[in-house]
Structures are given as structure tokens and as C-alpha cells.
Amino acid sequence: MNKTVIFTSTAMAEAADAAAFLASRECQVVTVPGEVCLWDEDALRAFAAPYAASLLGVVHPAPERILGSVESVTEEQWVQATNEGPLAAWCVTKVFCGIMKENGRGSMIYLNSIHAEKPVGNGALFSMGCGAVQMLQMEANQDYAEFGVNTYFIQKGISSTDPESQSPVSGVYFGTDLRYPQRKMPEPGYLNDLIAYLLTPEAAPLSGADLRADAGMTMFYVHRRKVEGRPYYDLY
């Protein structure tokens, strides 16, 4: 029987890297096509049906972000962010975790962002959506872990492929490479082994975990200097 891993999107570079990596490891990797609406439960269930018996796990990346402060976003953007963020994650969880529950095994991986805990002012709707999915993962673990379905939330760091999100509220997108202890941005594919591991039964003790896979970025404090006119500190 094929071991099927479904990606709800590969728009995020880390998701595309992981999909290619898993395909090279003899997994059947399937990406939900763009015409299948992730917040349409019936459409998602119809798509999932052919893969139900072989489903090993699901990787659900955060959506592409909507940039702008919370004061600047439109009503249409609020609806878009709700649909693509928490509502899509809820439908994905209900459909795929329901299938894996029937199978008695599987992994649900939310490939997300440090924005879940570190809003930066620009991309407020994205940050709020990330935080909501972070809470959803914890609830999903309560519902599905007893049936052999493990859930994980990954807070990935900022990578060179992320959209520019500079903001006067936070300096995290200024000199980003120097904000890593390694003094450089993560290499492409740096999450591949982690994602592959979380799809195995050996990762079960981590079920429900909120994994800060940011190479130490958000916990790294370096010497900084105050810049006149800015509310944050620049790096030396």
C-alpha cells in the first residue's frame, strides 16, 4: 500500500521543499489543487476520498499573507484572511483527521510561522490567523490523539523566500540574517527532516507540541543600539 502524504498547498517554499523531499523517500505526495476550496468541507472531502486508505499524514501550510496594519485592512481582506486562515485549517482538520481517526493512525502537521507568537505590525491579519491555528492544533490533539492521530504545530523562522514585512512596530525584518545565532538565514530544505520525522510513529511523544523550529531566532538577543526616531533597536 502506498503511503500518502497530502499537502494542502506548496506555495510556501518550505512546503515545496518538503514535498519534493518526501517524494524522494518513496511517499506518494499529493497536493490539493487550487480549484479545491480548503474552506469547503464537502469539496475537500470529495478530494480526499481516493487517498483515505493510504493516508499517512497531512501538511497544512499557513496561507500567503495579507500585508498591512490592522487599521488599514478592508472588509474583504478580513473575510479573505478568515477563510484562508482559521476556517480552512478547521475544515482541513475535520476532514483529514476524521479519515486518519478511522484508520487508527496518522499525523496532522500545521506548517506555520513565528508570527503566531510574534506579530510584527505588518501582516496583522496573518498573525492573528496563525495564532488561531496554533490554538486549533492544541484542541485537535485533545480530540484525536486517543485515536492514534498525532498533531503538531511548527513555528518556522523567517526565510529568504518570505515576503518583506518591515514595520515601524518591530525590527525583526531589518537585518534578519543577523538575528539568527548562526548569523545567516536558514538553508533551503532545513525543515525537511523534521517534517519527515513527525510523520513517523516515533514522533508520537511530541503529539500536541508547538515546535519553535526557527533555528533559535526568536530567543536570540544580541547587542543593539537605539536609533533616533525609531521605536526599536537596530543590530550592531
Tell me the per-residue pLDDT of 28-49, one tens digit each, with 9 for 90 and over. 999 999 999 999 999 999 999 9
Tell me the per-residue pLDDT of 9-35, one tens digit each, with 9 for 90 and over. 999 999 999 999 999 998 999 999 999
- Whose cell is 496594519? That residue is 69
CA separation for the pair 220, 180 (Å, rounded)? 7
Strand ranges (E), 70-178: 106-113, 149-156
- pLDDT confidence tier of residue 236, bands split at 50, 70 and 90: very low
Q: Are 102 and 55 in contact (CB under 8 A)?
A: no
CA distances (Å), origin 217, targets 161, 170, 227:
16, 14, 22
Tell me the per-residue pLDDT of 165-190, one tens digit each, with 9 for 90 and over. 888 888 888 889 988 988 899 999 99
Q: Determine the pLDDT at residue 224.
A: 58
Residue 225, pLDDT above cutoff 90: no
Residue 222 domain boundaries: 4-235
CA separation for the pair 47, 51 (Å, rounded)? 8
Number of domains in the chain: 1
Looking up residue 137, the CATH number of its domain turns out to be 3.40.50.720
Tell me the per-residue pLDDT of 63-119, one tens digit each, with 9 for 90 and over. 999 998 888 999 999 999 999 999 999 999 999 999 999 999 999 999 999 999 988
